[in-house]
Amino acid sequence: MKVKLLIMVVMMLALSSFCFAQDNATEAGTEDTDTTAVVESIILPAPPGNLTGIDKPNDHGHAAILSWDLSPDDGAGENSVLKYEIYKWVPQLMLDINLVRDSLSVIQRILRNTTSGITEGTQADSMKIVFEKYSRDELFDIRNTLIAHVKQENTGLAEASNSYPENGAWLFVDKKPSGTKSFVHIGSKDFKSAGFVPDFANLYYRVDAVTIDGAKSSSKVLGPIQTSGQWYNTYRTPVVFSVLFFTLLTIYFVREARKGADLYVRPLGGIEAVDDAIGRATEMGRPILYVLGLGSAADIATIASFTILGRVAKKVAEYQTELLVPTYDPIVMTVAQEVVKSAYLDAGRPDAYKEDTVHFVTQSQFAYVAAVNGIMLRELPATNVYMGKFFAESLILAETGALAGSIQISGTDEIAQIPFFIVACDYTLIGEELYAASAYLGKEPVLLGSLKAQDYAKAAIILLAVIGVVLAQFEFGAAFVNLFEVAN
Amino acid sequence: MKRQLPFLLVFLFGAFMVFQYYVPHESSEFVYEFLLDWVMIIGIFALALGIWSLYTVSVDKIRHKKENWAYSYVTLIGLFIMVVLGFTYKVGDSWGFYSVFVISLMTLLGFLIQTSVSKDKGLWLGLSGLSLVVALGIAFTDDSWGIAFMTSEGLSNTMFTNFADFVLTPILATMFSLLAFFIASAAYRAFRARNILATLLLIAAIIVMLRFNPYMPFGLPEYMAKTSNWLMNVPNLAAQRAIVIGIGLGIVATSLKVILGIERGYMGKG
Amino acid sequence: MTEKKNIFDKMMTLDRRWVFLFLIVVCVATYAADFSIPINTEQETESIFNFLDSLPPDDIVLIAIDYDPNNLAELHPMTYAVVEHLWRKKVKVIFTSLSQLGPAMADQAIRDISDSLKIDKTYNYNGVEHNFKGREIVNGVDYTFLGYKPYYALIILGMGQDFRLNFPNDYYGTPLDDLPMMQGVINYDQVACVVDLSGGNITDAWISYGQGRFNFPLMLGLTGVMTAQYYPFLGSGQVSGIMGGLLGAAQYEELADNPGRAKDGMRVQLFAHYVIILFIVLGNIGYFMSRRKNLEGGN
Amino acid sequence: MKKTTIITFAVISALFLVSWIAKGMFTEGSSPFLDGFLVTLAAFLTLAIMSFLYKDNPYYKFAEHLFVGVSAAYAMCLGFWSTIVGNLIPRLSSGISEFFKVSYIEGDYNFIYFIPIIFGILLLMRLSPRGGWLSRWPLAFIVGTTAGLNFVRYLRSDFINQVSSTIVPLMIDWQGFGHFFSNLNFSATGQLVMMFSNLVIFIGVTCGIIYFYFSKEHTGWFGRASKIGIWILMITFGASFGYTVMGRISLLVGRITFLFRDWLEIIS
C-alpha cells in the first residue's frame, strides 16, 4: 500500500519540477557559453543546411547517423561559427520517464551510500531529501516498482512520438567543433538509462550553428527517421569469405591426410630437443618442470600447450621420470590434470600418476613467478619447458632456470617476450611455431593437414600483398586495398 | 556418451560464437554478454578448486615433513588471514573483540590443520572446538564485526588494505625489479657472437642501447640515435607483422580444429 | 677439462652474481652521487629551446599540461625544465590542463617551480653566462592557470576566439579580467607559442584544431613511445619541435644548463646501460680468445 | 640449526626491530608504531626477495611462501566480491542481494544465471572420485565459446587487416628519375629513405612469412628468403631487447628510491 503512495509522490515531484527540468534540458548545451560577456549586437550565423539522417547500418539499433552541410559562416563568410549543437525532439512521455529515471539513480546512490556528490538545491537534492526518509527495505521496494513502471511506460514511447511537434521538447544531445559535418548519435539500449533511444519510434533532429557569442541558428528539422537493429553485418562479409576459404582448405587437407597423402613438415629445433631432454632428465634422475604460462584455458596458446604437455607427460610416464606442473589459472590446472592423467593412462602407467603433479600456486603474476623460481632452485629440474602465454616474468623464469643449470625449451606467442626467451633459453619456438609444434609432436596426419592449410593461407597473403603493392602505384589500386578493410 | 558430449558442446558453443559475430542485432548481443558473464562466474568456482589444491599440497607437505615443510605454515597463515580479513570488517573504531575474533578464527584453522596432520587427533580437535566456541561466541554476542565488503565501511578494513599495500605491493614491485638484474645477466651470458644470427641480435641490441650515449666521437651519437629509431620503426614493424600474421593463422587454425573436434589434446586423449 | 683456466675463460664464465653486484652498486652510486653527464642534444629539442630562449621578457607562452599522473615520470621533468627557463627569462606563462586528472598535479608543479625561482642562479648556455636574481613568482602576474574543462577539441577552438569563453575564471576562481597579465590578452594572437606536453591524443587536437586553424608555433613534449609517430608533422612544418620522453627532457635541461630530474634519471640509465654493454664486451672477448686458444690447441 | 644461521637471524631481527622503533618514534600520524611496522615489513620483504640474487635462503623462502598465500587469498576475495557478489547475486534473488547489500537487478531472463552455477558445481565434481567426468562439461563450454570467439576475430584482425596494411606504396611521391635524382637527400624524412624503408617493410614481411612456412623444405630461393626472414626477426629481437633495458632499470630505481628515501631516509 505504502509503495503505491510513494509512486504518487514521485510522480508529483516529477510534475512539480517539470518546468525546471525543461529549462535544464534546453540549457544543458549552452552551459559554457552562457557566461560569455554580453556583446551588444549579436549577428546570427547562417544555419547549417541540408540535414539528412539514416539509421546506423550494421548495428544493434538505437543509433542514427546525421550529416549536414557546413554553415556558410564556418571556415568562410563571417567565419564566426565555433561549434554545432545537436538537438533531438522527445515526447512529453520521455521527459516524464526521465524524471523517474533520475529518481531511480538517486535511490541507487542512497542505497550505495554515495550521495555525497549531489549538490544542494538541485533536483537530485530535493529527491534525495524525499527518499532518505525511507528504510532500505522500503527503498528496495520503491526501486523495483519504479523500474517496472519505467519498463511499462517505455512501450508507449513509439506511439507518443507520433504527436510531433505537439507535446514534447527539444533535448540537447551533443556538441561538435566547427568543421564537423556529421554526427553519429549512439543511444543507449538500456531502457533504464537516460540516453535511451527507442527503436522503431519516430525521431526528429536539428543541428544549430553556434558562434562565439552564443548566437545560434537552427537547421531545418530532420525527421521522422527510425532506428533498428540488423540481423547481418554487411561490413563483415570479407570475414565470411575468409572463414569459408580457411575452413574448406583445412577440411580438404585433413581429408587428404586421412587418405594417406605424405605431408612434409620442416623440422623444429625446439621440439626435437624435447625427447632428448626427457632422456637426459631420466639419466640424471631429476624432474621435468612444465610451465603453462599465465594464459587462461581460453587462450589458444594455452590450448596448444596442453597438446604438447600431453606428449611430454606420456614420454615422462614411459621413462618413469618425475613431472612438475605448477599452474597459475585454476581452470588451466583442471584441464592440465585431465591431460596428464590420460597421458599416464596411455603410457600404461596410471599408477604412477599423482594428483599433485599438477597443482595450483596462485593467481598473481609475480607470486607465481616467486614460487616457480623456488621450485627451480630447490628441485633442480633437468629440463624446464615454458609453453603458452608469458608476460614480463619470462626473463625472470628463464634466467633462474639457467642458473639452476637446466636445459630450457620455450615457446610463446607474446611477441614482446620472444626476445627474452631467445636470449635466455636453449631452444625457442617463435610465435606460430608453438601452434605448429602441437601438430608436429602429434605426427597425426589430420593435425598436419591443417598446417598445410595454414601455409596456403600464408601464400594467399603474400600473393595478395604483391598484387596490392603493384596496384597501389595506380589510382584504381585503392579499390583493391579497400576489399580488405573491415569497417566494423 | 561420456566422452563425446563435451566435444558436442564445444562444437555447439563454438559455432554459435562464429555466427554471433555476424549478427549485430540486440538479441545476439544479449546472448553474447550472457556467455561472457558465465565464463567469469565459472572461473570463480574454479578458483575455489585452485585454493583447495594449494591447501592440500601445503598440508600434504606438512604431514609428510617434506623438505621446507615449515614454510607451508607461512603460506597457510597468509592465505587464511587474508580470507578472514577479506570477508569481515570491524564496526567502529575499537579493535577489541574484532581482533580476538580474527585470532580465534586463525587458531581454529591452525588447530584444524594440526588435527589433520597429527596423530594425536583428540587434543587438537578439542582445542579447535574451543576456539570455534570463542569465535562463535563473539560472532553472535558482539556486534563489533560484520560481513560485507562492497559497501564503504567494508572497504575500510584497514588490515586488508594494509596487507595489500605493504606485503603484496612491495614484493610484487621487487620481483618485477629483479628484471633489471636478469636483463644484465642474460645479456652477458647470451650475447656472444657465436654465429651470424647471434651476431645480428648482438649488434642490434648494442646500437639501440647506445642511442643516448654522449661519450662518442665523430657525431656517432646522433647516428646511433637515428639508426636505432629506424630499427624500431622499420625492420621491427616488418618482423612484428610477419609474426602477427603467423600467430593469427595459428590461432585461427587451432580454434577451427578445436571447434571441429580435430584437436582434442586439451581434454586428455579423445 | 684439466687445463688451468686463464683469464679469458674466467671472463667468459664469470659468476653472474658479480654482474648483479656491479649493477646494483653502479645504480645506487649514480643515483646518490651528484654529478652531471653530458647529454647530446638533438635538433628537434634545440629548436624548441632556441625559440623559447629568443623570447623577450613579458612575452606570453601557453603551456598545456595535458598528461595525467600515469605519464608523470616522463613528462613532469619537461614541465619543470621549460617553465623554469621561461620564468628565469621573465616570460609569462598561461597554463591549461585539458586532461581530467591533470589539474591538481599541474598546480603542484607550478608551486614547486615557483619555490625554486626564489633562489639566485647562474646559467651558462650558448657560451654566455646568465645571472638570474631570485624573485617571487606571482599568480596573475607571472602566470595564469586556467585549469581543466572537458571537450578538449572545443576548448582548443574556443581559446582561439577568446580565453574567457571557456575560462571566465581561472583555476583558483579569479575572473580572468582581474588578472594583471591577462589585460589585453584575448586569444592565441597575443601568445608567442604553444607548448603541448601530452601523453595521449590531445596532441592531435592541438595540431589539427589549434595549429591548423590559428597558425601559431606549436611545440610538443611527448612520451617516448609516442614520439616516432609525430615526426611527420615536424617534416611538414606543422610542429616546430619535439621533445621525446625522458631523453628529450634531459636534452632541454642540458640546453638550459639546468640539470634536474631528467638528467638524474638519465645518469642512472646511462651507467646501467654501460654496465650491461661492458659485460657483453667482456663475455665476447673471453669467447673469442678462448675459441682461438681452442683452435690453436686443436691444430 | 647451525650457529651462524641463528646469529644471522638474531642480527637481522635486531636491525629490523631497531628500524621499527626508530620509524615509530620519528613518524607522525595517528598510529605511528603501526605505520613504522608496515614500512619496516615492506623493506624487509623487499630485501628478502632481493637476497634471492645471491642464493636461495630462508628469508626468500619466507617471503615467497607468504606472497603465495596472501596473493591467492587476495585474488579469491576480490573475485568473490566483484564477480559473485557484483555480477551473479544481484541477478539471482532479491533476498540474497539484500544480504550482500547489492541491489537486485530485475530481468526476464535471470533464471539463465543458474546455468553457470550448475556448471560451476559440475566443475567442483572433480573433487568426488565418481563425478570427475562431469567436470569436462564446463571446460567444454569455456573452450568452445572462446575458440569460436577467437576464430573469427583473429581471422579478421591478423589475416584480412594485415593484408591491407602490408600493401605499402613503394614509389613515394614519384615524379620521374630526373626529379628523384635532383632532389636526392639522405635525411630521415627524405624520399630516398622513405622508399627504402617501405621496401624493407615489404621484403621483411614477405620473408618473415616464408620463414614460418612449415610444409615446404627451406632450400633454394625459398631457403634464402627464409634466411632473410630470420635475419630480420633476429635484428628486431635484438633491438627490442636493447630498447627494454631502459624501462627495466627504471623499475630498479623505483625500488632503490623506496629503500633509501622512504625507509632509510638518507637520500632526499
Domain boundaries, chain D: 1-55, 168-263
DSSP-assigned letters across all residues of A72-127:
TTSSSTT--EEEEEEEEEEEHHHHHHHHHHHHHHHHHHHHTT-GGGPPTTSHHHHH
| Partner-chain contact D239 B203, CB within 8 Å | no
Tell whether C191 and C254 lie within a shared domain. yes
Q: Average pLDDT for consecutive 10-residue bins of chain A (488 residues)?
A: 56 52 43 45 82 88 90 80 89 85 82 71 80 79 81 83 84 85 86 82 90 84 87 86 90 87 80 87 93 89 91 91 93 90 90 90 92 94 94 93 93 91 93 86 77 90 87 75 71
Q: What is the spatial distance between Cα D159 and Cα D145, in angstroms, rounded to a whole number?
A: 21
In the predicted model, is pLDDT for residue D46 greater than 90? yes
Q: Are residues C130 and C174 in the same domain?
A: yes
Disruptive mutation site among B18, B39, B42, B249 for chain D (greatest number of D CBs within 10 Å): B42
Q: At what angle do helices B26-63 and A330-346 cross, to 10 degrees?
A: 70
Residues 6+ apart with CB under 8 A from D194: D172
Consecutive H or E run containing B241: helix B235-260
Domain co-membership, A38 together with A175: yes
Instruction: Identify the CATH number of the domain in which residue C60 sits.
Output: 3.40.50
pLDDT in tens, B133-188: 887 777 777 666 666 554 544 445 667 778 888 888 899 999 989 999 999 999 99
Contacting residues of C for D54, CB less than 8 Å apart:
17, 20
C92 forms beta bridges with C60
Kindly report the average pLDDT of chain B as a whole number: 83
Asked if omega into B217 is within 30° of 0 (cis), the reply is no
Same domain as A244, residue A218: no
A404 and A478 together in one domain: no
Domain count, chain A: 3
C84/C199 same-domain check? yes
D240 and B159 Cβ atoms separated by less than 8 Å: no
Given a contact cutoff of 8 angstroms between Cβ atoms, the answer to whether A434 and A387 are in contact is yes
Are C201 and C111 found together in one domain? yes
Query: Does residue C37 sit within a domain?
Result: no
Look at residue C197 and tell me if it is in a domain: yes
| Alpha carbon separation from A194 to A97, A185, A188, D3, D219 (Å, rounded) | 9, 14, 8, 73, 65
Q: Which residue of C has its CA nearest to B223?
A: C42
Q: CB-based contact (8 Å) between A38 and chain C?
A: no
Query: Does C155 lie in the same domain as C23?
Result: no
- Could you tell me if D92 lies within 8 Å of chain B, comparing CB atoms? no
Instruction: For C134-189, give the secondary structure using H, E and C.
Output: CCCCCECCCEEECCCCCCHHHHHHHHHHCHHHHCCECCCCCEHHHCHHHCCCCCHH
More confident residue, C64 or D195: C64
Name which of C17, C20, C273 is nearest D245 (Cβ-Cβ).
C273
* Whether residue A342 sits in one domain with residue A418: yes
Cell numbers of D155, please? 581471422
Closest residue in C to B228 (Cα) is: C228
Strands (E), B153-217: none
| pLDDT value of residue B152 | 43
Task: Looking at the structure, tell me whether residues A97 and A189 fall in a common domain.
Answer: yes
Residue D14 has pLDDT above 80, yes or no: yes
Chains in touch with A (≥3 Cβ pairs < 8 A): B, C, D
Residue A165 CB neighbours (<10 A): 11
**Do the Cβ atoms of A36 and C165 come within 8 Å?**
yes
Q: Which domain holds residue A287?
A: 269-443
Residues of A in contact with C162 (CB under 8 A): 212
Residue A9 lies in a domain: yes
CA distance A403 to A377: 8
Q: Are C220 and C194 in contact (CB under 8 A)?
A: no
d(C-alpha D149, C-alpha B184), whole Å:
40
| Residues A126, A247 within the same domain | no
**Of A436, A275, A387, A243, the residue nearest D215 (C-alpha):** A436
Q: Which residues is A147 bridged to in the sheet?
A: none
Chain D residues in contact with A472 by the CB 8 A cut-off are 167-170
pLDDT at D34 over 90: no
Same domain flag for C274 and C237 = no
Nearest CB partner across the interface for A361, out of B54, B185, B255: B54
Q: By three-state DSSP, how is residue A414 classified?
A: coil
Interface membership of B139 toward D (CB under 8 Å): no
Please give the Cα distance from A449 to A439 (Å, whole number): 9
Residues A146 and A177 placed together within one structural domain of the fold: yes
By DSSP bridging, strand C60-66 and strand C193-198 are: parallel
When comparing pLDDT for B130 and A36, which is higher?
B130
Report if residue C166 sits inside a domain.
Answer: yes
Scan residues 340-399 of A and list those with Cβ closer than 8 Å to D. Answer: 361-364, 366-367, 370-371, 373-374, 377-378
Mean pLDDT of B103-112: 84
> Are the beta carbons of B214 and B220 closer than 8 angstroms?
no
Cβ pair A368, A362 in contact under 8 A: yes
For residues A54 and A181, membership in a common domain is answered with yes
In this complex, the chains that touch C, judged by 3 or more CB pairs closer than 8 A, are: A, B, D
CB contact under 8 A, B54 and A342: no
Cα separation values, A10 from A1, A3, A152, C113, D144, Å? 15, 11, 16, 53, 48
pLDDT value of position B143: 66
Same domain membership, residue A335 and residue A193:
no
Residues C126-135 pLDDT 10s: 878 888 888 8
Which of A38, A82, A180, A211 should we substitute to test contact with C (largest number of C Cβ atoms within 10 Å)? A82
Q: Hunting for cell 579580467 — which residue is that?
A: C177
Cα atoms found within 13 Å of the Cα of residue D27, Cβ hemisphere only: 22
pLDDT at site A34: 43
Could you give the CA distance from residue A303 to residue A336 in angstroms, rounded to a whole number? 10
Residues facing residue C124 across a β-bridge: C129
What is the number of structural domains in chain C? Answer: 2
Q: Which pLDDT score, from 0 to 100, does residue B220 have?
A: 79
Residue A266's alpha-carbon distances to A16, C263, D212, D215, in angstroms, are: 79, 51, 10, 6
According to DSSP, the β-strands at A203-211 and A216-218 are antiparallel
Separation between Cα atoms, residue D89 and residue D67, nearest integer Å: 30
From chain A, pick out residues whose CB is under 8 angstroms from the CB of C16: 403
* C-alpha dihedral (D194, D198, D199, D202), degrees to nearest 10: 170
Examine residue A488 and state whether it is found in any structural domain, yes or no: no
Residues C12 and C120 in one domain: no
Verify that A211 and A324 share a domain, yes or no. no
* Residue B195: DSSP 8-state: S
Complex ipTM value: 0.87
* Interchain CB contact of B69 with D (< 8 Å): no
Domain of C281?
7-32+270-298
The strand ranges marked E within A262-373 are 288-293, 323-327, 358-360
Same domain assignment for residues A439 and A463: no
- Does C163 share its domain with C75? yes
The subunits that touch chain B, with at least 3 C-beta pairs less than 8 Å apart, are: A, C, D
**Burial of C113: CB neighbours in 10 Å, binned 0-12, 13-18, 19+:** buried
Please report the pLDDT score of residue D226 as a whole number: 94
Q: Sheet of A383-389: strands edge to edge?
A: A358-360, A323-327, A288-293, A383-389, A407-412, A427-430
C126, part of any domain: yes
pTM, full prediction: 0.86
Reported as a single tens digit per residue, the pLDDT across C160-174 is 888 887 888 888 888
Residues C99 and C19 grouped into a single domain: no
Give A401-406 contacts, CB < 8 A, sequence gap 24+: A401/A289, A401/A376, A401/A425, A402/B189, A403/A376, A403/A377, A403/C16, A404/A376, A404/A377, A404/A380, A405/A380, A406/A289, A406/A376, A406/A380, A406/A381, A406/A382
Dihedral class, residue A39 (left if φ above 0, else alpha if ψ from -120 to 50, else beta)? beta
- Does residue C224 share a domain with residue C109? yes
Residues of chain C in contact with residue A37, where contact means CB-CB under 8 angstroms, are 164
Contact B259, D151 (CB under 8 A): yes
A142 falls within a domain: yes
Q: What beta strand segments (E) does A301-360 contain?
A: 323-327, 358-360
- The reply to whether residue C270 touches residue B188, judged by beta carbons under 8 angstroms, is no
Nearest to D169 by CA among A480, A483, C230, B227: A480
Short-list A62, A82, A86, CA closest to A73: A82
Cα distance from N-terminal residue to C-terminal residue, chain D? 41
* Cell representation of residue B105: 578464527
Beta-bridge mates of residue C195? C63, C219
Can you tell me the mean pLDDT for B32-51? Answer: 86
**C7–B contact, CB cutoff 8 A:** no
Residues B130/B80, Cβ–Cβ less than 8 Å: no
Does one domain contain both A257 and A323?
no
Q: Is residue C105 part of a domain?
A: yes
CB-CB neighbors (< 8 A) of B189 in chain A: 402, 424
Here the CATH number for the domain that contains residue A144 is: 2.60.40.10
Strands A427-430 and A407-412: parallel
Contact list, D245 vs chain C (CB under 8 Å): 272-273, 276
The residue of chain D with its CA nearest to that of A300 is D147
Same domain as C129, residue C90 = yes
The residue with cell 572497504 is B155
A292 in helix, strand or coil?
strand
Position A158 in a domain? yes
Q: What is the pLDDT of residue C65?
A: 93
Condensed to tens digits (0 to 9), the pLDDT of residues B56-87 reads 999 999 888 888 899 999 999 999 888 888 77
Say if the Cβ atoms of C270 and B213 lie within 8 Å.
yes
Q: In sequence order, what are the beta bridge partners of C75? A: none
- Residues A154/A198, Cβ–Cβ less than 8 Å: yes
C64 within a domain of the structure (yes/no): yes
The one-letter amino acid at A59: D
Taking residue C30's Cβ as centre, other Cβ atoms within 10 Å add up to: 22
**CA atoms of A388 and A305, how far apart (whole Å):** 6
DSSP string, A17-33: THHHHHHHHHHGGGTTT
Q: Nearest Cα to B260, choosing from A73, C209, A453?
A: A453
Distance CA A298, CA B85 (A): 31
Q: Which of B26, B251, B266 is the closest to A335 by Cβ? A: B266
Cβ atoms of A158 and A198 closer than 8 Å: yes
Chain D contacts in chain A segment 6-25 (CB below 8 A): none
What are residue A293's DSSP bridge partners?
A389
Instruction: Kindly report the CATH number assigned to the domain that includes residue A382.
Output: 3.40.50
Question: DSSP state, B266?
Answer: B
Regarding whether C118 and C27 lie in a shared domain, the answer is no
